A and B are shown apart, each in its own frame.
Chain A
């Protein structure tokens, strides 16, 4: 397989360098994972030394942290929130529940694999991941942004049809009020099909 090295412009490098140090995080605390966040944010582990701060609105946030299981009902809200966020955006699946359902693997109400519905940048394994693991994950994210490799958000525009089909399979047709194929044109990403 031929490897292609994409040349990043100097402006891109400046941009990512600035971007990696000012990440604002929206934490969607659906499950028990939220208890690990207060120590991560506050004095003990102090997330802000990496430039990561909690943010209250999706439109101003860069990271969407899904902390725990998602029922079909909450997944609908997560999709609405995700589409409201400005690109580039990074979804972090937190804990086993987002990876394979975790302890809710045989539940009729929860989804089992988050990256069927929205693209996930990376997962934090564990039940629960400790603040050390969260910090480890975020430093990895910072590193990836610096190298220009954190590109999961582009996948939503490239394979919108796939994600939309899976979403509609679990909760039916919704109108999110966002024109994703149109956004894809703005970002000059692929051929997003409606």
Chain B
């Protein structure tokens, strides 16, 4: 990984537009072939028109992301999505790369263990990826190595387990954590005298 980082510094493609970014749009077969040539990964195939999909090893993902950004021409990281495969004990991270030149989406899938959910960050290549990673970290508990800002993002007051994990039962949590209104058949009698709350006998939430 460090070798790739040093390449990034010497080539400095952030300033100069890489050759792969400009030019005529390519066919899907060409893109798959270029992916194979550049990254050495032949697992990519066509899933739908202008949608390419494939599997990448989790330890090679950062290198793959750097190559697809600098030398294949996929300059945009659309999203990082996560799937929890509970039975297999794995998280599947899907990185969606977009090429403005080809109007084509490449989805790179990678699997990591559920117990030690750890993967290298890509926020050094795409700065906005930091937010995607924060989101995935918050909802699934995946740790992105090298991302220094994995603070709470949306669930600012949350102290439970990551809520999008499959073994988190949201209904049980809601029933234990929040107060539900009791069914009051004579509610119209209760509200007649003015203000009425469901305070009960002064008790508070669990």
Contacts and interface: CB of A to CB of B under 8 A. Distances in A.
A116 interface: yes
A146 to B, nearest CB: 13
Interface string B138-169: 00000000000000001111101001000010
A72 B157 CA distance: 8
Contacts of A172: 157
Interface string A97-136: 0011100011111011101100111100000000000000
Interface residues of B, number: 28
Contacts of A115: 197-199
Contacts, number: 83
Interface in A25-70: none
Interface in B165-182: 168, 170-171, 173-175, 177-181
A163 B179 CA distance: 13
Given A106-B171, A108-B173, A152-B195, A113 B163 contact: no
B9 interface: no
A187 interface: no
A166 B180 contact: no
A144 B195 CA distance: 10
A100, A101, A107, A116: most-surrounded residue (chain B CB, <10 A): A116
Given A113-B180, A166-B179, A166-B204, A108 B160 contact: yes
B155, B163, B199: most-surrounded residue (chain A CB, <10 A): B199
Contacts of A169: 204-206
A106 B202 contact: no
A109 B155 contact: yes
Contacts of A159: 199, 202
Q: Is the interface of B mostly helix, strand, loop or mixed?
A: loop
Interface in A142-172: 144, 149-152, 155, 159, 162, 165-166, 169-172
Given A106-B174, A166-B205, A149 B157 contact: no
B163 A170 contact: no
B23 interface: no
A108 B157 contact: no
Given A99-B181, A119-B195, A152-B195, A105 B174 contact: yes
A162 B199 contact: yes
A167 to B, nearest CB: 10
B154 A73 contact: yes
B194 interface: yes
A89 interface: no
Given A108-B163, A162-B204, A151 B179 contact: no
B198 A116 contact: yes
A170 B155 contact: no
Interface in B23-82: none
Contact of B174 (A76, A107, A171): A107
25 contacts: A72-B155, A72-B157, A76-B157, A99-B181, A100-B180, A106-B171, A106-B175, A107-B174, A108-B173, A108-B174, A109-B155, A109-B163, A112-B178, A112-B180, A113-B179, A144-B194, A149-B195, A150-B195, A152-B195, A155-B195, A159-B199, A162-B199, A169-B206, A170-B157, A171-B157
The 4 closest A-B pairs by CB, nearest first: A106-B171, A171-B157, A165-B204, A152-B195
